[in-house]
Amino acid sequence: MNAVCPGSIVTARAISSTRLAGWTDLEAGLAARTRGIPAARHGSVAEVAATISFLCSDAAGYITGQSLYIDGGGLPRPAKPG
HEC profile for 23-66?
CCCHHHHHHHHHHHCCCCCCECHHHHHHHHHHHCCHHHCCCCCC
pLDDT on residue 3 = 95
For residue 38, being part of any structural domain is answered with yes
At a CB cut-off of 8 Å and minimum separation 6, what does 67 contact?
Answer: 2, 3, 4, 5
For residue 78, being part of any structural domain is answered with no
Domain count, the chain: 1
Per-residue pLDDT of the chain in tens (82 residues, 90 and over written 9):
899 999 889 898 888 888 888 888 888 888 888 888 899 999 999 999 999 999 999 999 999 999 999 999 976 666 656 5
pLDDT on residue 33 = 84
